[in-house]
Structure 1
């Protein structure tokens, strides 16, 4: 059965990381487009990663398009390959789905307001790309992802109040289901903040964008597992639809992920049990997490609640 919205009582699995998993398997990372060009340079590895996540139990796999907007690709001299790279990204996911024999698997196209990241740093400089340039690039990418066959659009690492609306608008214009993933960090005084660098923006202010846009699911991603529960609690106060939880583990020194102190699959499972109690219906992993983490979550999957339930 194909589905584009999570039904009452369901718990479904999103995949784990794509970009850091490519690096883990030996694929070189670029300065700005990060893992984006791997869709052309190493399509067989990318397809195998998707296959491995499906085999681990993933119901949704994410195309390798997080860092493949034309605006980012141009910074690495790849702007003229925008269409080829994005099509290859979706096609790799489609081949993996077809090979799995699971027509129910959904393909999510990833959209972000990511900007370039200085070598050795961890946080994108979204402001390095002008608002008009970013808006045009996002609209172009969202349309291509829709036309290439993505089932939904996954808005990832939402944290910049000035740029989030550009992503939401581009996604809304496609008519596809939209799932929004927000990223959080802990401030010096213990307060929950948006992930972004610079000014400390309360997380509650970041997610208030959900009052202005209709989405089919919303969640916490690219956030340490020990912050997810607090962030979910804040999100539930704002959004009454299906919740997602897919944390990261390790840390970034651009352009490389540091696979240090990565949460174990069993630890992730224990956290996820709590997130389900908080209402999370889509579970998965972000940077640093691999197919074995998704396999550890597989026992938590469940079907929709009966109509009379």
Structure 2
């Protein structure tokens, strides 16, 4: 079992870092990078064995096309530097995952534009490539984007993880990505690309268990992981980019741990948290799932 970190963005907001839409967590890279570092440190001290660089919102959807063109490499470098400084400060063997964000906004497979993939993804990849231990394509809901970004990443010995976001509907007979694509379609692509680690993130914990069971049936030898968010259901017209969504008050450390134990029993070997999941949640995962 490997413990991942939690949701950096909401943790930045909780600590008073500048945090609003549309810039989301990218604001802190300009105005409060030290707080970014401290959030990483606190997740590491809570037991996270992998932290993810805070460049999730460094895409045109969040910071605008003009600012992206001018500052993408600078902001991504700041995000990488804060992660490295946090690992150095804690003196632990924590791995750094290079964030490959959804290029056109969370849950927005409808905005996918294949002609822009390289222009957005390459400067991020090129900035991160020399100092990350693995790649993490997060909150993916468009299979064509997954395939195109994977083709741009250097092919070396570093692991490549892909994490899909799911429809927040427990009544669906089969798990679906936000795009409506199925896990069977995702599994075909995973096999084609030779990816060995698949996760589910930025969706409710209630829908993840079914997805883990399905993926383990589709691809028994693939490593599976999960890091849920603490949002109410985000379906249909809702997106993770519209305003600042409320965080559930019922999803405390104990309840989240209960979900995580079910994921572990179903075969998940990498577990952390997404939006709204704090160092306190991660600490409980580290204590109980590592036993």
Instruction: Give the alignment's TM-score, normalised by structure 1.
Output: 0.83
Q: Secondary structure at the match of 2:18?
A: coil
1:24 equivalent among 14, 33, 38: 14
Q: Is 1:134 matched up with 2:135?
A: no
Alpha-carbon distance, 1:250 to partner: 1.6
Given that residues 146 and 176 in structure 1 are in contact (C-alpha distance below 8 angstroms), is that contact kept between their aligned partners in structure 2? no
Alpha-carbon distance, 1:176 to partner: 2.8
Alpha-carbon distance, 1:146 to partner: 1.1
What do the CA deviations read for 1:32-61 (whole angstroms, capped 9, x no partner)?
A: 442123222111110110010011011001
Given that residues 197 and 224 in structure 2 are in contact (C-alpha distance below 8 angstroms), is that contact kept between their aligned partners in structure 1? yes
Alpha-carbon distance, 1:71 to partner: 6.9
Alpha-carbon distance, 1:201 to partner: 2.6
Alignment partner, residue 238 of structure 1: 218
**Cα distance in structure 1, aligned partners of 2:133 and 2:153:** 12
Q: Counterparts of 1:207-246 in structure 2 under 5 Å? A: 207-239=187-219, 240-246=221-227
Q: Secondary structure at the match of 2:194?
A: coil
Structure 1: where are the runs of 5+ without partners?
Answer: 1-10, 117-122, 304-309
Given that residues 71 and 137 in structure 1 are in contact (C-alpha distance below 8 angstroms), is that contact kept between their aligned partners in structure 2? no
Q: Name which of structure 1's ranges 263-272 and 82-91 shifts more when overlaid on structure 2.
A: 263-272
Q: Secondary structure at the match of 2:167?
A: strand
Alpha-carbon distance, 1:129 to partner: 5.6
Q: Name which of structure 1's ranges 154-163 and 205-214 shifts more when overlaid on structure 2.
A: 205-214
**Cα distance in structure 1, aligned partners of 2:65 and 2:19:** 14
Alignment partner, residue 97 of structure 1: 87
Structure 2: where are the runs of 5+ without partners?
Answer: 233-239
Q: Name which of structure 1's ranges 248-257 and 83-92 shifts more when overlaid on structure 2.
A: 248-257
Alignment partner, residue 47 of structure 1: 37
1:204 equivalent among 184, 188, 210: 184
Given that residues 158 and 183 in structure 1 are in contact (C-alpha distance below 8 angstroms), is that contact kept between their aligned partners in structure 2? yes
Give the count of matched residue pairs: 283
**Cα distance in structure 1, aligned partners of 2:109 and 2:21:** 15
1:258 equivalent among 208, 221, 246: 246
Given that residues 220 and 246 in structure 1 are in contact (C-alpha distance below 8 angstroms), is that contact kept between their aligned partners in structure 2? yes
Alpha-carbon distance, 1:220 to partner: 1.4
- Which structure: greater helix fraction? 2
Instruction: Give the alignment's TM-score, normalised by structure 2.
Output: 0.87
RMSD over equivalenced CA pairs, Å: 2.4
Given that residues 21 and 62 in structure 2 are in contact (C-alpha distance below 8 angstroms), is that contact kept between their aligned partners in structure 1? no
Q: Name which of structure 1's ranges 86-95 and 260-269 shifts more when overlaid on structure 2.
A: 260-269
